[in-house]
Structure 1
Amino acid sequence: MAPAPVLLPTPDPSATPDPDAAPQAPAAAAAVPLTPEHCTAPSRLAARSDADAGAPTIPLTPELIALLRGELEPSPEDHSDFALRLRFTQQRLDAISPSLPSATPPPAPPQRPQSPLPPPTSHVPPPPPPPRAHADPLRASSSAASLPSAMPPPLRPPSPPPTRPNSPLPPPPPRAPSPPPPSAHANPAMEMVQLRVISAQEDTLHYRPLVRRARLAFEALWGRYHRNAENNPVPGSRNRADLRALGAMIKGRLCLNRDKRIVGPVPGVFVGDAFNYRAELLVVGLHNQTQADIGYVPASKLDGGHPVATSIVSSGRYLDDHDNGGVLIYTGSGGSPPNGGNLALTYSCNYGIEVRVIRCHDCHASPSGKLYVYDGLYKVFSTSEVCKFKLVRVPGQEALGSNTWRSARDLINQLDAKIQPPDYITLDMSKGKEAVPVPVRNSVDHDVFPLQFEYLARPEFPAPPAMPGHKCCTCINAKTACSETAGCACVKRSGGGGPAYNADGMLLRGRPVVYECGASCGCPASCPNRVTQRGTRHRLEVFRSTETDWGVRTLDLIQPGAFLCEFAGDVLLADDPRIANANANANTGASTEEWACFIDPRKFPTRWMEWGYAPAAVLPADGEEPPRFVQCPAPGYVLDISKRKNIAAYISHSSFVPNAFVQLVVRGDEDESCPHLMVFGMEIIPPMSELSIDYGLDQ
């Protein structure tokens, strides 16, 4: 698959470096800008090859340039593709004419009248550029396949100035047009590049954490602004917490790739990734428009003077649009300006630039009611209709994200209808112990390992010791009373920062321990501070994996902060001899296989600190006090999953980019040394995605 062309912006000669600019994060990949060697240099028109060494040569002069340019003027009868090639050749001549020695111009040759050039209807690319040798193999692999850059706009030969009839002096020779003054809005730091990574492993281990860090910061800021608007509503104003969060990230220079317009894939962003807001697309550099569907670089930023599209958001709002996944007939924006998105798509077609396609879906599970799914790269082809384009998906990419969503929905419909799809060995390994059935799928072999254990929905902790002076929640009206302002004792025990959950049951911020209302509290089961007690609400399945043996993936869309499941097994207190034996074997260097059947709460790293915390530099000045968490004892038990366990025991390990984390939860007057191990989503997890947490295996 040939990489997309890489274009450089027009430099701003008046620009000076910003001494206050914050250091940028590591580049998402090697930036490969286009150099003059990547295209056919116009000055080589006068060069001689070895084959023509004996042939007479004609020096290239401005007179010859003017003659050739006049002969290359397109005619109204010329085909649009042929006329476009003529224009490109004229542009090359115009680019080298000012650098040639001046001479007295001969009489201007007759020219055909100027005619407007119709928009191209098909793509005829210019000849491929010669490869350039590089010492850096990464640059060599990218630049050798680069396509020609955008050329400057065609310039007409200047007309001689008017003279008086009896003037004794001849008219002055024509001068080359002076370059336009730099734009006040020009951003000399921005460039259009193609970012490439060496391997998929590098993309996952290095660039994926950068993308997730930016998205977590956006989620934290959005949550803060959203809560502030709910607590202090302003009549007549719209709560655009997403745009306020985006503005804060731009101001704090936390957005990725703000100084670049990336052609092709964005490192660290995978096909199938989902976003709740368009603002999130700008945060990671996937799309650069908050409202427009076509993301592009304007003509003023490029040497060629032509806008170039880099991404589109397809919402299917036009009835005549056609989309079967691999081929998308896209209707552009009507009435756009000359340098708008439609023209940018036209030039992306002409230059062979691949554009990123993000599809917008209606989604009730998203706070915006919309979900934006990245579906990969597409090639643009023009059609016979105005403002309509044919986009064909580039082969060799990951499975189409939107098709995966449809497959997950169809699968859920079969499971709800009690129809056992192929490769499923059971529809519910919990046998009714969970609120939602837990199916098991094996499409690799005939192993039925998960069915060999007794399913335990939740651990059985010993009776809590009596805590003198402990006061439980005595709330009656859960909606108004179970809050910190109303004096709920359980919410206060969780520390500052307000309640642990919002009205939708999402964890607002990770904490050392979340204190929920318990059995000794007076609030009902519908209390908003009892989220984990209502059990699993998402469709999860255990599946056989060729990479992680057995794993867990979701069939639903999981929002950040959503409760997923609880770790369960037989509880072994710290003084249990089996734990002492396992520790002794590990200390002496003996086999530690017996630890594979233990879940140790003390080994989980503090991943909860990554959820819900915005960078201090961009925290909104809303008067919210920093949380003051209470000190709690370390867990004094381990879970033995050798005989009884639940779905959580099959979640795979990831120490780099886990998409879920473990949160300790204590209910009511339970023993604080035996907290529950609850799993929450750390980011948006699309359907058919595998869950992963950090077990602390590297500690």
Structure 2
Amino acid sequence: MEPLNGIDKSRVLDVKPLRTLTPVFPTGAQAPNFGCMPPFGHTPNGFSPFFPFSAPPQAQATQHSPDLNHVNPPAMQTPAGPMPAPLRSYRAPNPSGGLPHDFPEESNGDRESSMGDEDGYFDGHKDVAGSSSSRKKTTRGSYRKKVRRNGDADAVVLGSSVNFVSVISPAQLEDGNRDLVNYVLMNFDAIRRRICQIEDTKEKNTDSIKRADLKAGNIAMTKKVRTNMRRRIGPVPGVEIGDIFFFRMEMCVVGLHAPSMAGIDYMTLRGDLEKDPIALSIVSSGGYEDDTDSSDVLIYSGQGGITNSKDKQVAVTDQKLERGNLALERSLQRGNEVRVIRGLKDDTTPNSKVYIYDGLYKIQESWTERGKSGGNMFKYKLVRVSGQPDAFSVLQTIRKWKDGFSSRAGLVLPDLTSGSERIPVSLVNEVDNEKGPAYFTYLPSLKYSKSFTLTQPSLGCKCRNACLPGDMNCSCIQKNEGEFPYTGNGILVSRKQLVYECGASCPCPPNCKNRVSQSGVKVRLEVFRTKDRGWGLRSWDPIRAGAFICEYAGEVIDEAKFKNKGDEGEIDEYVFDTRRNFDSFKWNYEPGLLDEESPNDSVEAYSIPYPLIISAKNAGNVSRFINHSCSPNVFWQPVLYEQNNQSFLHIGFFAIRHIPPLTELTYDYGVSMSGGAGNNNGPHRKKKCLCGSSKCRGYFG
């Protein structure tokens, strides 16, 4: 057969493809801002999309330009280890769709994904993170840190892509423990506080991150500062009933509740022929028509068919038996346990919530009923498994105390401060017949003798209004190495050798945010009788990590007087001595997590520039009742501010981690440098430790 028009159609042509089937993505600097993050949905502005919708770090370093004539282009590299979870609670669009390792197919629902007033911000599908299109960055995730250079307050140093080497092993990523959960949460909140500090320095008309918690969660997941990625029914290793959280992302990074926005977490069991989902955990925080009055029974509303009202979500269309609703229905049939997290308003921080892990529940029954706005809603009755420690019921009881509906059992005095503190401190004994501690004079702050000063007077700032973060004309900010020591809501950013606050000579008002430690007690405290350690201190309110609790008040004494007391055989049980050795621990953020260089002069050991001995035996405040622990939840921070034209040192107590209500407050008393464990003479006499911690060293003092 002759070829047609000179072309032999019987031949198989060796045609090279015009485009490669292997996707090639631009590097970070060239990558466009995706309006959508296919196939799952919208990406909040200010947050970089995850692989594979942007090139992974390995691919950015080795990627080649696309070659249209290359038959076998180099394969695109994939990131090592499990893929980080997305920030949003994405769902696979169809049964064949796939999600990352820790967000498997049909792993979450969207019951609360469009709620308002979640963590103090809107939690809907709108942009909640601020625009990033005009934001100047270097590498992905890096920040610009302001420093003083030749007097130029606007000089900046760019992050330099510092690598963070995770200390968490692959096995610990899958399954955690208590120490690991605490480590992850401390690092998450340290990153969040640092991001808040950076964002506070920006001008109001510039783009900023409104959700530092989401950014911190992004970093923690990407850098593998997380645990319990293996999804499971029932308890989560290292997470205890009664643990509190102030951000939904905290629950994500410890594996308690995977979706960052959705209220129902579910998954499909491997090998399940029916391919039906089952519920793992739920969050009930007031966004739906839930019945949360009972501490052991929860009437939980299904997802979908809702719209936003002014204060909560209301049903307008019928809900469907799919996704989270179907998972809850299947869990009713299977009888599996479901983790329940309850959310409620945080009294200490406006427009924010606190979440408490209330333990395991079982779904007892389900039904549908007409919602307030006409739509049919699924209802599920969950009953708490018996034999678990109290959690949500504690918050309910405290609420009744505050509202006056119930009296405090064992109440001895409603306010032992006699009005010295703006918030009363009650005295409670539910253990024995002891009527109260030995008499002492209540002092809200330190008492210095006129002839005893620690430092030379320093000039105060000249801020007529409140001191503002980033204002390098403020001398108090200059003393703090150019950075505001607290976030906007008064949370300490990091542990320092010394924090400088505004003093009496500063013209800024008393409510200046650089006077955190000067306004007294900020949470509702009570002094209570312990079973074996005398009197202790705890709070009715949940306390956020980095929050100021109180200062150590008493009489400042000199070293010679303190030594004479020991020679005379007098033991002062209420001494705070900064000269002791204290177990150092890391409470600052890891600079590598934010692509910042570690300072060359960073010192992990916690030392104080000025020695200070305080006795609260005869005069003091609530801090004299804080007991010792080798695994404390409170740390002390030196704070310096001016009084009567002289600078004085104070000792402030801050929370190491989130502290649930009615949890005893403890700090490490330290060990005397003059004798250690074998010293039993003079004022430094060792004492047996009864803290009961797994890390107890057996003694203190």
Taking structure 1 as the reference length, what is the TM-score of the superposition?
Answer: 0.62
Deviation at 1:512, TM superposition (A): 0.8
- 2:242 maps to which residue? 272
Task: Give the alignment partner of residue 383 of structure 2, picking from 368, 383, 392.
Answer: 392
Please list the CA deviations of residues 115-159 of structure 1 after superposition, one character each: whole Å capped at 9, or x if unmatched. xxxxxxxxxxxxxxxxxxxxxxxxxxxxxxxxxxxxxxxxxxxxx
- Offset at 1:619? 1.4
Q: 1:289 deviation in Å?
A: 1.0
Alignment map for 1:32-51 (pairs within 5 Å): none
Separation of aligned partners in 2, 1:476 and 1:673: 19
Q: Could you tell me how far 1:573 is from its partner in structure 2?
A: 0.9
**Partner SS state of residue 543, structure 1:** strand
Between the aligned partners of 2:276 and 2:600, the Cα distance in structure 1 is: 50
Per mean C-alpha deviation after superposition, the further-off stretch among 553-562 and 627-636 is: 627-636
Report deviation, 1:443. 1.4
Counterpart residue type for residue 618 of structure 1: L
Q: Which amino acid aligns with 2:413?
A: T
Q: Deviations over 1:523-555 (max 9, x none)?
A: 443333222122112211101122533111112
Alpha-carbon shift at residue 323 of structure 1 (Å): 5.0
- The reply on whether 1:413 has 2:403 as its aligned counterpart is yes
Deviation at 1:689, TM superposition (A): 2.4
Structure 2 matches for 1:170-249, cutoff 5 A?
185=99, 187=101, 207-232=177-202, 239-249=210-220
Deviations 1:590-647 (A, max 9, x none): x9x825342212336366x643x222332156x9989989998644332223333321
Letter aligned with residue 394 of structure 1:
V
Matches of 1:234 and 1:303, distance apart in 2 = 55
| Contact 1:633 1:673 survives alignment (8 Å) | no
- The answer on whether the counterparts of 1:490 and 1:668 sit within 8 Å (CA) in structure 2 is no
The correspondence for 1:551, drawn from 530, 536, 541, is 536
**Residue among 645, 663, 671 paired with 2:620:** 645
* Residue number among 356, 361, 368 corresponding to 1:378 in the alignment: 361
- Distance apart, 1:693 and its partner CA: 1.5
Distance 1:510 1:327, change over 3 A: same
Match for residue 434 of structure 2? 447
Residue 300 of structure 1 deviates from its aligned partner by 6.7
Distance change in 2, residues 1:186/1:213 (3 Å)? closer
Kept in 1: contact 2:104–2:267 (CA 8 A): no
Evaluate the alpha carbon distance shift between residue 397 and residue 536 of structure 1 in structure 2; reply closer, same or farther with a 3 A threshold: same
Percent of aligned pairs with the same amino acid:
33
List runs of 5+ in structure 1 lacking aligned partners.
Answer: 1-17, 25-180, 193-205, 586-590
TM superposition shift of 1:187:
3.5
Question: Aligned pair 1:332/2:315, yes or no?
Answer: no
For residues 150-177 of structure 1, the C-alpha deviation after alignment (integer angstroms, 9 at most, x for no partner) is: xxxxxxxxxxxxxxxxxxxxxxxxxxxx
Please state how far the C-alpha of 1:670 moved relative to its aligned partner.
8.9
- 1:362, distance to aligned residue in structure 2 (A): 3.1
* 1:283-302 matched pairs, under 5 angstroms: 283-298=253-268
Q: Aligned AA for 2:640?
A: V
Compared CA separation, residues 666 and 229, structure 1 to 2 (3 A): closer
Q: In the superposition, relative to structure 1, how do residues 530 and 348 fare at CA in structure 2: closer, same or farther (>3 Å)?
A: same
TM superposition shift of 1:322: 6.2
**Aligned partner of 1:488 among 470, 474, 477:** 474
Q: Quick check: 1:666–1:675 contact (8 Å CA) kept in 2?
A: yes
Q: Give the aligned partner of residue 475 of structure 1.
A: 462
Matched, 1:662 2:636: yes
Q: Specify the alignment match of 1:256 in structure 2.
A: 227
2:398 alignment partner AA: A
Instruction: Specify whether residues 466 and 635 from structure 1 end up closer, same or farther in structure 2 by C-alpha distance, changes over 3 A only.
Output: closer
Displacement of 1:396 in angstroms is 0.4
Matched residues, number: 495
The answer to whether the aligner puts 1:616 opposite 2:601 as a matched pair is no
Q: Is the 8 A contact 1:214 1:283 kept in 2?
A: yes
Q: 1:499 to 1:351 in 2, by over 3 A?
A: same
Quote the Cα distance in structure 2 between the aligned partners of 1:420 and 1:323: 19
Greater mean alpha carbon deviation, residues 421-430 or residues 482-491: 482-491
- Contact kept? 2:248, 2:260, Cα under 8 Å: yes
Q: Tell me the alpha carbon deviations over residues 625-684 of structure 1, each in whole angstroms, 9 at most, x when there is no partner.
A: 89989998644332223333321011122222x222111111127999962111112233
Please tell me whether the aligned partners of residues 592 and 598 of structure 2 are also in contact (alpha carbons under 8 angstroms): no
Equivalent of 2:491 in 490, 493, 506: 506
Q: Distance in 1 between matches of 2:292 and 2:480?
A: 52
Q: Does 1:575 align with 2:575?
A: no
Which 5+ residue runs of structure 2 have no aligned equivalent?
A: 1-77, 85-94, 107-175, 306-318, 369-376, 672-696
Counterpart contact for 1:517–1:668, Cα < 8 Å? yes
Cα root mean square deviation, aligned: 4.1
User: Which residue in the other structure is 1:438 paired with?
Assistant: 425
Q: Find the residue that maps to 2:177 and give its secondary structure.
A: helix
User: Structure 1 pair 627/533, CA: closer, same or farther in 2 (3 Å)?
Assistant: farther
Aligned to 1:636: 611
The one-letter code of the counterpart of 1:687 is P
| TM-superposition CA deviations, 1:38-67 (whole Å, max 9, x none) | xxxxxxxxxxxxxxxxxxxxxxxxxxxxxx
Shift of 1:388: 3.0
The 8 Å contact of residues 515 and 668 in structure 1, kept in 2 or not, is answered as no
Shift of 1:572: 1.9
Q: Matched residues in 1 for 2:253 and 2:290: separation?
A: 32
Q: Does 1:594 align with 2:585?
A: no
Deviates most, 422-431 or 384-393 = 384-393
Mapped contact 2:441–2:620 kept (Cα < 8 A) = yes
Q: CA deviation at 1:686?
A: 3.1
Distance 1:483 1:330 in 2: 43
SS at match of 1:675: strand
- 1:349 equivalent to 2:332? Answer yes
Mapping of residues 530-549 of structure 1, within 5 Å:
530-549=515-534
- 1:403 maps to 393
Give 3-state SS (helix, strand or coil) of 1:594's partner. coil
Letter in 1 for 2:383: V
Q: Using the alignment, how far apart are the partners of 1:502 and 1:188 within structure 2?
A: 32
Residue 230 of structure 1 deviates from its aligned partner by 4.0
C-alpha spacing 1:629/1:491, structure 2 compared with 1 (3 Å): farther
Judging changes above 3 Å, is the alpha-carbon distance between structure 1 residues 644 and 378 closer, same or farther for their aligned structure 2 residues?
same
1:685 equivalent in alignment to 2:675: no
Give the equivalent residue in structure 2 for 1:456. 443
State whether structure 2 residue 622 is matched by structure 1 residue 675: no
Query: Shift of the alpha carbon at 1:465?
Result: 7.1
Q: CA deviation at 1:501?
A: 2.1
In 2, are the aligned partners of 1:633 and 1:672 still within 8 Å (CA)?
no
**1:317-351 deviation per Cα after TM superposition (whole angstroms, max 9, x unaligned):** 44374652212222222378886222222332333
Question: After the TM superposition, which of the residue ranges 672-681 and 284-293 deviates more from structure 2?
Answer: 672-681
- Alpha-carbon offset, residue 261 of structure 1: 0.7
Q: Who is 2:693 aligned against?
A: none
Tell me: CA distance 1:594–1:246, structure 2 relative to 1, closer, same or farther (3 Å): same
Letter in 2 for 1:491: I
Shift of 1:558: 2.2
Residue 236 of structure 1: how far off its partner (Å): 7.9
